[in-house]
Amino acid sequence: HLSSMAHHGGRIRLDDLNHTRGYRPWPVYQQSKLAMLMFAVELQRRSDAHGWGLTSVAAHPGVANTDLMANGPGGLAGFGARLFLPLLTHSAAAGALPSLMAATLPDATPGGYYGPQALGEWRGPPGPARIDPAALDPDVARRLWVESERLTGVRYG
């Protein structure tokens, strides 16, 4: 599952997951990345509880110098951003390494989260990443799961 450092500070609006009221790009992005991480953790909980034998993991790319920087929520396309971001970010290829690690690590931690290890997880070689406590709330994760099933029409065993 692909999450983001943006999950820190995210909030799940269970009463309006699609933000039909009061849409703002950055909070919606944060919610989506928090939801992805919560889904990864909840899938692992459910696998453990039901004996599915799955290993569910998540990753984040750190701050990779991609078009998302300029075109994403709250776009950072100004002159200052173009000047200083290359000093703080890493390449798109380096940003892919945590996902590759999570997908291929033979002894990945079930329910684990992987990301860059330097500069506050903004860049660097991949390793275990910090999960915001909000992503570990089992009640909100269960309610998000149920609401996701309702919205998509897909039920998991």
Which of 29, 113, 114, 156 is catalytic? The answer is 29
CB atoms within 10 A of CB 43: 22
In angstroms, rounded to a whole number, what is the distance separating the alpha carbons of residues 157 and 123? Answer: 38
Q: Where are the beta strands (DSSP E) in 1-157?
A: 58-59, 113-118, 123-128
23 given a catalytic annotation: no
**DSSP class per residue in 24-61:** -HHHHHHHHHHHHHHHHHHHHHHHHHHT------EE--
In angstroms, rounded to a whole number, what is the distance separating the alpha carbons of residues 14 and 19? Answer: 10
Q: Which residues are catalytic?
A: 29
